[in-house]
Amino acid sequence: MTPLRQRMIEEMRMRNLAPGTQDTYVACVAQYARHFGRSPTELGPEHLREYFRYLTEVAKVGNGRRITVACALRFLYHKTLKVDWSIEHIPLAKVEKKLPVVLSPVEVEQFLAAVISLKHRAMLMTTYSAGLRVSELTHLKVQDIDRARMVIHVRRGKGARARYGVLSPRLIPVLDAYLAAARPTDWLFPGAKAGQPVTTYAVAKACKRAAKRSGLGKHVTPHTLRHSFATHLLEVGTDLRSIQVLLGHRSIRTTTVYLHVAPAVHAGLLSPLDLLDPSATGVSP
């Protein structure tokens, strides 16, 4: 490991960046250095402009990925190397905001019915039941299932924020069957490597297989289950603040996106057009 990489990792750890974010930032910086065949300490604003031109026009990298690269390089130059030139030399692409894909309750049932493996069923049901991020699911431990209080202790929340999630009574029989069969002792969902939790890739793969078997015709990921959890809570009248807490969102503004994808929230609302006199609209009463 180079001294620069070690220094950057130490800076990220001091700021409590999530392990996944640390790995991503290190990979982005490594790719940047390989592109020029030089250490980032030898590169400056003109190289950054050239690199982002390359990502946009040659590599055809999407906006979301370019933002990740920009954040990694901003951290490197301004937090680790503390350069004196402006951060604006590292551009942040503008991303079009898209509404999340959400399954209806019936579609969730159809999806879960297509899960064959007991372990996969327990993983995906837990994800939906508590609205977990996939990284939160993979880092659950056996003792995090608190049956006495009917909660799930989420220790690896985004931004190192721990919280409690909902433990559904309907999830318990599935977890009991899985625990009896697998007998995990530390990680709730152990991975293929001894002593390691299941990987996020393995969860995503299980989700993809179930989606294909279900015939839903939608792109379903573990995060789709999290989106569906939040939307379904909103549709049955749960207030936004409670949903924010359950999801572990830092700001309620992040949670308000579900107002746009919950049809039941708008049920019964009248359009202003409905309040007009029919004669004024050219339509006979």
- pLDDT tier, 62 (very low <50, low <70, confident <90, very high otherwise): confident
Would the pLDDT of 41 be above 60?
yes
- pLDDT tier, 17 (very low <50, low <70, confident <90, very high otherwise): confident
Is pTM beyond 0.75 here?
no
User: Which candidate, 202, 10, 63, 225, places its Cα nearest to that of 132?
Assistant: 225
What proportions of the chain, in percent to the nearest 5, are helix, strand and coil? 60, 5, 35
What is the C-alpha separation between 29 and 84, in angstroms, rounded?
Answer: 19
133 is catalytic: yes
What is the C-alpha separation between 211 and 214, in angstroms, rounded?
Answer: 5
- pLDDT tier, 280 (very low <50, low <70, confident <90, very high otherwise): low
Helix, strand, or coil here: 247? helix
Which residue of the set 35, 78, 119, 158 is catalytic?
Answer: 158
Which residue of the set 25, 32, 128, 258 is catalytic?
Answer: 258
CA atoms within 13 A on the CB side of 231: 22
User: Which candidate, 222, 230, 219, 224, places its Cα nearest to that of 258?
Assistant: 230
pLDDT of residue 279: 62
**129-187: pLDDT as tens digits:** 999 999 999 999 999 999 999 999 998 766 667 899 989 999 999 999 999 999 999 99
**78-125: pLDDT as tens digits:** 999 999 888 777 877 776 667 788 999 999 999 999 999 999 999 999
Domain 105-266: CATH superfamily is Intergrase catalytic core (1.10.443.10)
161 is catalytic: no
Residue labelled with tokens 């930032």? 25
Which residue of the set 121, 139, 156, 226 is catalytic?
Answer: 226
**183-231: pLDDT as tens digits:** 999 999 999 999 999 999 999 999 999 999 999 999 999 999 999 999 9
Which residue of the set 133, 139, 156, 232 is catalytic?
Answer: 133
Q: For the chain, give every domain's residue range.
A: 3-89, 105-266
249 is catalytic: yes
Under CATH, which architecture does the 3-89 domain have?
A: Orthogonal Bundle (1.10)
5 is catalytic: no
Q: From edge to edge, which strands make up the β-sheet containing 163-166? A: 145-146, 151-154, 163-166
